[in-house]
Amino acid sequence: MNLSEGERLILAMLCDIHKALNLKGAIDPDTLKPLILEAGSNGAARGVNGAAGNHHRDRTAVATEVSEILDMWSAIERGYKRLSVDEKRNVEAEAGPLGRGVRFSGFDAESEIDYRDVAHILIVEAGQFERFQGRNLDAHMPALAGYRRMLRLYGPMRSVKGDRQLDVRQIIALANAEKYAD
């Protein structure tokens, strides 16, 4: 989708209104606004649509999904960090290799380049999700399908207030959702 300058301005103003009214929901105006404003530049268009423009995905949908995935992984990593040593062993025993040092691994640079590039924009350029600063965002294998399975499970776990502490059972369930197809 190509947005005109006027459409980008309107969307940026809607982000400002959304933020000023303190509305809560899946859309984070602080995350979307930089992407909307940069959408007219070559870098952001390439970043969201892929270097060769292979898949012309809806920029807002990709940005929203990446933001939700990063939000979910922030909650998972915070929850994992709070676990006791015994609980971490339990996660590893029940979730296998994905339960060892539970950590966001990024997106595949080959097949999920648009998602990886949006994550880079959100983390590095927009300064969101500081937890992921300095990480290599290339998972070296497709990860999006697993993240989508995790998001379906995470939705009911998500706190309306924003910082819900995930327990050991929830972390195990999410790790297993990442690796097992429906």
Q: Exposed e or buried b for every residue in 84-120, given b needs 16+ CB within 10 A?
A: eeebbebbbeebeebbeebebbbbbeebbbbbbbbbb
Check whether domain 5-179 has CATH 1.10.3190.10, yes or no: yes
What digits encode the pLDDT tens for the residues 151-166? 999 988 886 555 568 9
| Phi, psi dihedral angles at 107 (to 5 degrees) | -125, 155
pTM over 0.75: no
**In the chain, where are the structural domains located?**
5-179
What digits encode the pLDDT tens for the residues 66-120? 999 999 999 999 999 999 999 999 999 998 777 777 899 999 999 999 999 999 9
